[in-house]
Amino acid sequence: MKNTTIIKLMLLILIALTLSSCGKSKPVLYIFNWSDYIDPVLIKEFEVANNCKIKYSTYDSNENMITKIKSARESFDVVFPSGDHVSILKEAGLLESLNRTKLTNYRNLNSGLLSKAQVFDNANEYSVPYFWGLTGLMYNKRYVPAELVAKQSWSIVGDPFFKAKNKVTMLDDAREVIGAALVYNGFDLNDTSEAALATAKKTLDAWDVNITQFDSDSYKNEVPDGTTWLAQSYNGDVLQQMAENKELGFFLPSEGSSLWMDNVVILKSSQNKELAYKFLDFLLEVNTAKRNAEYTQYATPNKAAHELLSDDIKNNALIYPSQEYLAKCYMIMALGNDVKKIDALYEAIKMN
Ligand code: SPD
């Protein structure tokens, strides 16, 4: 064999060995998050800094997330449930009790918001606040007349202007849909009394003539392209679209709305807890949290990161509404067995 051939062969073997050992030794972290809810550059940075691979999957509702994590086929390390679902996962014994000594950046969190999170995780033992937000109405200015929007009311969902046009959608989220009708009628969003739910049903039956679908993802593309004109939507998702399209508008209804906090948790079944802790701590790091808030356009519970944000973001009332507006909003709470009443009403509306 010629010397050059031998050298080439040795090089190939070396490359193959390097590649196979990389593949084998790189730990993998399985992350399951809401769609459009992290700056993708951060994922790459974490992979490089920790010489690992992130397998990243997304969901569009807490209900889908729970179904997948309970199915034996899917296994995840880090998940992002909303507050009421932190309680549900905790009750089901699925969450890791967090060792805060591994979270060196935990001190960056806003202590006032940590106290608020105790309504669903009483000692902040299982969850770390990720972002908080509100639900409102997104619209396309090209099709929805300004006079209709001027009232800034949930009542626009049932407005006769939309009749037979098939242009209105609501979230595929029982708590948000029933919640909007409850708040519109002056009830607490967590009220499951017969009177409250009967009133909400009446309103939703009236709105339903306009509603074409219950969907939590499509509106992000369909309001911009005119397939949908008005959509119940999560504030940050809309602001991400509004940055690129001046024809889009969004308002928080004057009657009030839902207020929610999404959180990071590690599943008890996680196969790579050390790496999961590193990922949580990375998200809590001040510059990571600042960049993530800028990308997602959601309100950060990271006090140190919030201080670094531009005034444009800090003063944006669609991200950080006034205390006066927040007083009209309701945190979505876990309802135990009573949630079945909400689910039954939601299914009945969807079947109409
Ligand atoms: N694209 C991210 C959306 C996050 C919404 N989470 C909150 C849901 C509360 N019902």
With respect to residue 116, please indicate whether it lies within any of the assigned structural domains.
yes
Question: What residues does ligand 1 touch, defined as CB less than 6 Å away?
Answer: 34-37, 82, 173, 175-176, 234, 237, 260, 262, 332
Give 242-296 pLDDT, tens digit per residue: 999 999 999 999 999 999 999 999 999 999 999 999 999 999 999 999 999 999 9
| Confidence grade of residue 352 (pLDDT, cut at 50, 70, 90) | confident
Report CA(62)–ligand 1 centroid distance (Å): 8
pLDDT reading at 3 higher than 70: no
Give 53-79 pLDDT, tens digit per residue: 999 999 999 999 999 998 867 789 999
With respect to residue 288, please indicate whether it lies within any of the assigned structural domains.
yes
Calculate mean pLDDT across residues 144-170. Answer: 97
Q: 140 and 103 share a domain? A: no
Calculate mean pLDDT across residues 204-226. Answer: 97
Q: 142 and 211 share a domain? A: yes
Calculate mean pLDDT across residues 122-133. Answer: 98
User: At residue 115, what is the residue type?
Assistant: S
With respect to residue 19, please indicate whether it lies within any of the assigned structural domains.
no
Q: Which of 60, 82, 292 to mutate to test the pocket of ligand 1 (most atoms within 8 A of CB)?
A: 82
Q: 226 and 336 share a domain? A: yes
Range of the structural domain that residue 180 is part of: 133-259+326-351
Q: 220 and 339 share a domain? A: yes
Q: What percent of the chain has pLDDT over 70?
A: 93
Q: 243 and 335 share a domain? A: yes
- With a CB cutoff of 8 Å and minimum separation 6, the contacts of 253 are 136, 137, 152, 153, 154, 180, 183, 184
12 compared with 201, residue with greater pLDDT: 201
Q: 199 and 287 share a domain? A: no
Q: 188 and 243 share a domain? A: yes
Report CA(102)–ligand 1 centroid distance (Å): 27
Q: 122 and 46 share a domain? A: yes
With respect to residue 290, please indicate whether it lies within any of the assigned structural domains.
yes
Give 37-59 pLDDT, tens digit per residue: 999 999 999 999 999 999 999 99
Give 299-331 pLDDT, tens digit per residue: 999 999 999 999 999 999 999 999 999 999 999
pLDDT reading at 12 higher than 70: no
With respect to residue 1, please indicate whether it lies within any of the assigned structural domains.
no
With respect to residue 18, please indicate whether it lies within any of the assigned structural domains.
no
- Number of separate domains in the chain: 2
14 compared with 120, residue with greater pLDDT: 120
Atom 5 of ligand 1, nearest CA residue? 234
With respect to residue 17, please indicate whether it lies within any of the assigned structural domains.
no
Q: 206 and 336 share a domain? A: yes
- With a CB cutoff of 8 Å and minimum separation 6, the contacts of 294 are 39, 309, 313
Q: Which of 34, 183, 332 to mutate to test the pocket of ligand 1 (most atoms within 8 A of CB)?
A: 34
Q: What was the pLDDT predicted at 23?
A: 47
Q: What was the pLDDT predicted at 10?
A: 53
pLDDT reading at 11 higher than 70: no
Q: Give the pair of three-digit tokens for residue 22.
A: 């990389």
Q: What was the pLDDT predicted at 24?
A: 63
Q: 124 and 228 share a domain? A: no
Q: What was the pLDDT predicted at 177?
A: 98
Q: 61 and 105 share a domain? A: yes
Q: What was the pLDDT predicted at 71?
A: 86
Report CA(233)–ligand 1 centroid distance (Å): 9
Q: 98 and 153 share a domain? A: no
CATH code for the domain in which residue 196 is found: 3.40.190.10
Give 79-126 pLDDT, tens digit per residue: 999 999 999 999 999 999 999 999 999 999 999 999 999 999 999 999
Beta-carbon count within 10 A of 232 CB:
27
Report CA(155)–ligand 1 centroid distance (Å): 22
With respect to residue 53, please indicate whether it lies within any of the assigned structural domains.
yes
Q: What was the pLDDT predicted at 300?
A: 98
